[in-house]
Chains A and B, each alone.
Chain A
Amino acid sequence: MAAGDALLLEIRDLGVSFTTDDGMVRAVDGISLVARRGCTLGIVGESGSGKSVATKAVMRLLPANARLDEGSRILLHREEGEIDIAALPARSRELRRLRGGDIGMIFQEPMASFSPVYTVGNQMIEAILEHRDHLERRLGERFDRRSAREHAIRMLERVGMSNPRLRIDQYPHELSGGMRQRAMIAVALSTHPSLLIADEPTTALDVTIQAQILDLMLELQQELGMAMLFITHDMGVIARIAEEMAVMYLGRIVERGPTREIIREPAHPYTRGLLAALPRLDTARRRLTPVPGDIPSPLQRPAGCPFHTRCPRHMPGLCDRILPQDTDLGSGRSVACHLFGEAAS
Chain B
Amino acid sequence: MTAPPLVEIRNLKVYFGVRGKRMLQKARGYVRAVDDVTLTVRRGETLGLVGESGSGKTTLGRAVLRALPVTAGGIRFHLEDGPVDVLALSGRELRRFRRHMQLIFQDPYASLDPRMTVRDIIAEPLEAPGHLRSKREVDERVREIAARCRLNLEFLRRFPHAFSGGQRQRIGIARALVADPEFVVCDEAVSALDVSIQADILNLLMDLQEELGTTYLFITHDLSVVAQISDRVAVLYLGRLMELGPTAEIFARPMHPYTRALLSAIPRVEAEHRFAPVKLRGEIPDPAHPPQGCRFSTRCPFARERCREEVPAFRELARDRFAACHFAEELAD
Contact = CB atoms under 8 A, between A and B. Distances in A.
A239 B221 CA distance: 20
B271 A207 contact: no
Given A207-B262, A263-B271, A295-B164, A281 B224 contact: yes
A279 B251 contact: no
Contacts of B277: 208, 211-212, 215
A233 interface: yes
Contacts of B262: 207-208
A240 B267 contact: yes
Contact of A279 (B194, B199, B271): B199
B311 interface: no
A324 to B, nearest CB: 19
Interface string B231-265: 10000000000000001100100000000011111
B197 interface: yes
Interface string A264-300: 1000000001111111111111111111001100000
Contacts of B270: 280, 282
- Interface centre among A264, A281, A282, A286, by most B CB within 10 Å? A281
A22 interface: no
Nearest to A297: B164
Nearest to A214: B267
B228 A46 contact: no
Interface string B254-289: 000000011111111111000101001011100000
Contact of A278 (B231, B269, B271): B269
State the main secondary structure of chain B at its contact with A. helix
A179 interface: yes
B166 interface: yes
A207 to B, nearest CB: 5
B206 interface: yes
B269 A281 contact: no
A211 B199 CA distance: 24
A66 to B, nearest CB: 23
B228 A279 contact: yes
A287 B207 CA distance: 9
B230 A46 contact: no
B202 interface: yes
B324 to A, nearest CB: 18
A184 B230 CA distance: 37
Given A208-B265, A215-B277, A280-B228, A288 B199 contact: yes
Nearest to A234: B267
B142 interface: no
B271 A284 contact: no
Contacts of B196: 46, 273-274, 277, 290-291, 295, 310
Interface string B211-236: 00000000001111101111100000
B231 A285 contact: yes
B198 interface: yes
A207 B268 contact: no
Interface in B84-107: none
Contact of B275 (A209, A240, A281, A294): A240
Contacts of A284: 227-228, 230-231, 247-248, 251
B52 interface: yes
Contacts of B221: 206-207
A236 B267 contact: yes
A290 B251 contact: no
A288 B202 contact: yes
A210 interface: yes
A291 B275 CA distance: 27
Interface in A172-191: 176-179
B53 interface: yes
A256 to B, nearest CB: 17
B58 interface: no
Contacts of A234: 267
Contacts of B316: none
B288 to A, nearest CB: 13
A237 interface: yes
A288 B203 contact: yes
Contacts of A288: 199-200, 202-203, 228
Interface string A147-184: 00000000000000010000000000000111100000
A208 B203 contact: no
Contacts of B265: 207-208, 210-211
Given A281-B223, A287-B206, A294 B166 contact: yes
Contacts of A289: 199
B215 to A, nearest CB: 15
Nearest to B195: A277
Nearest to B200: A290
A298 to B, nearest CB: 12
Interface string B306-317: 000000000000
B32 to A, nearest CB: 19
B53 A206 contact: yes
Contacts of A273: 196
A279 B283 contact: no
Contacts of A56: none
Contact of B271 (A260, A280, A281, A290): A260
A115 interface: no
A274 B269 CA distance: 12
17 contacts: A207-B223, A207-B266, A208-B262, A211-B277, A214-B267, A215-B277, A235-B195, A239-B268, A260-B271, A279-B202, A279-B229, A280-B270, A281-B263, A284-B227, A290-B200, A290-B203, A295-B197
Given A46-B195, A236-B267, 11 more contacts: A207-B223, A208-B284, A214-B267, A279-B227, A282-B270, A284-B230, A285-B229, A290-B197, A291-B197, A294-B167, A310-B196
